[in-house]
Amino acid sequence: MKLESFVAAVWPCRSIWNRDIDRLGPEEVITEMALRTGTDPERARATALVSLESVVFEQLHLGGETSLVLPIGIYHRTRTLYGQQCCLQCLADGPITYYRRAWRLAFITVCTTHAVALVDRCPRCGAPIVFHRSELGSRSAVDASIRNFCWNCERRYPLLSRRVPKNSTIYRATAELEQVVTLGYAELALTPIYSHLYFAGFRALMALCAWGAVASDLRDLLSAKLTLDADCVANVATNVVEHLPVDDRARLVAFAWLLLRDWPNSFTTTCQNVGLLGSAFSKAAAPSPYWLAVVVQSDFNYARYTPSVQELRLAIRYMRHQGMTVTQTTVAALTGYREWHRKRKLDYLLSE
């Protein structure tokens, strides 16, 4: 049977090809698939991206984009974005080939099995990878197992993937990130961190190197430690790293991984060298998890300290108890309160 005819026969009332089936992972589809193939339901459920909740991201957003999940840009039954990646060697090896779940993640840009770079489009015509359309256009084509065939130019993908040395930064970074996914946690400064919080911070660092006031300087500084051309990652008009090509994302993964070495010393030193401000970080990389935000707040927040209302109340109480003169000027001098609206606030507190 043709692939689309088969799906229409099994799920006649369900839309499959005009949906992101990896993201949605409908329970009834997974249950039916597991039942008819004799597969354990949990194993079948693990093929969908929802199984990565609380591992790579906190919650999968079914109606929009999810952090670190590559969007495929569905338009009817075609794709407008390059969110489906693959390893050409994996698709060529063995009698049974399949697309890996990890190939939909923004920080996976290298196949650690074959030590080659992933591709996110046809190397010949540049069309997005849409494997279920490979048999379209030919009535005689019923081989749904063909996964390395371009639906647009109707030719097999060439096995010309760029080699990635196993001692390279991007390979080591990818291998470590895969391990974090497997374990469910990471360690920074000997402190365990839940993996979804670690990846939230990792994405923020990728965004910081991609967009913002210091992005170009950061890339230049970090590229000195790599055999990469930092200029290949051009500043983009958004900090949505999931929309970047696979080669650009590979460089950002390497840069973010370097910033996490010897945490937080490497990050602090590098960002101080390029003059990072806390406000610039917030614009480029918000939101950030606590383990990252606390370092930015303590090391890159140069704003003058403003005492809280509770601190001002305690200062006034202390001064009265000590018999000191309590006025706007004396309270401000004791607490370092120099904000322009201090008169109105202190008037209110002194009248309590």
Task: Tell whether 86 and 183 lie within a shared domain.
Answer: no
DSSP 162: P
Looking at the domain assignment, is residue 215 inside a domain? yes
The answer to whether residues 284 and 178 belong to one domain is yes
**Whether residues 285 and 318 fall in one domain:** no
> Are residues 275 and 319 both part of a single domain?
no
Cis peptide before 128 (omega within 30 of 0): no
**Cα distance between residue 343 and residue 305, in whole Å:** 17
| Element of type H or E holding 171 | helix 169-183
pLDDT of res. 253: 95
Q: Are residues 54 and 85 in the same domain?
A: yes
pLDDT digits (tens, 9 = 90+) for 273-321: 998 888 888 888 878 899 999 999 888 876 666 777 888 888 888 989 9
pLDDT at 343: 66
Residue with tokens 């055999």: 227
Is 146 contained in some domain?
A: no
What is the per-residue DSSP string for 211-279? SSTTHHHHHHHHHTTTTS-GGGS---SS--GGGS-HHHHHHHHHHHHHHTTTTTHHHHHHHHHTT--HH
Q: Amino acid letter at 204?
A: A
What is the C-alpha to C-alpha distance for residues 131 and 138, in angstroms, rounded to an integer?
15
Give me the residues of the chain with pLDDT under 70, please: 94, 136-147, 227-238, 302-305, 339-344
Tens of pLDDT, residues 232-258: 565 555 678 999 999 999 999 999 999
In angstroms, rounded to a whole number, what is the distance separating the alpha carbons of residues 331 and 324? 10
Contacts of 61 (CB under 8 A, 6+ apart): none
What pLDDT was estimated at residue 238? 64
- What does the pLDDT read at residue 311? 85
Q: How far apart are the first and last CA of the chain?
A: 82
Q: Are residues 284 and 324 in the same domain?
A: no
Give domain status of residue 188, yes or no: yes
Report yes or no on 89 lying in a domain.
yes
pLDDT of residue 292: 94
Position 59, amino acid: Q
Range of the domain at 345: 309-350
Q: Tell me if 202 sits within 8 A of 256, measured CB to CB.
A: yes
Does residue 317 share a domain with residue 232?
no
Domain final position from 105, 133, 161: 133
- Give the pLDDT score at 5: 83
Which whole-number Å values give the CA distances from 70 to 81, 85, 90, 266, in the listed order?
9, 9, 20, 29
- pLDDT for the residue numbered 160: 74
Q: What is the pLDDT of residue 340?
A: 56
**What residue ranges in the chain does DSSP mark as E strands?**
74-75, 78-79, 110-111, 116-117, 185-188, 191-194
- Same domain as 326, residue 296: no
Residue 151 maps to a domain: no
Give this prediction's pTM: 0.82
Residue with tokens 């046809």: 122
Amino acid identity, position 97: T
**One domain for residues 40 and 87:** yes
Residue that is written with structure tokens 């929009």 in the block: 64
Number of domains in the chain: 3
Considering the domain architecture, whether residues 204 and 225 belong to the same structural domain is answered as yes
Token pair, residue 340, equals 């322009």
- Has residue 152 been placed in a domain? no
Measured between alpha carbons, how far is 311 from 324 in angstroms, rounded to an integer?
Answer: 17
Predicted pLDDT of residue 233: 60
Task: Pick the last residue of a domain from 107, 133, 159.
Answer: 133
Q: Is 150 domain-assigned?
A: no
The answer to whether position 330 is within a domain reads yes
Are residue 203 and residue 253 in the same domain, yes or no? yes
Same domain, 293 and 316: no
Residues 6+ apart with CB under 8 A from 227: 168
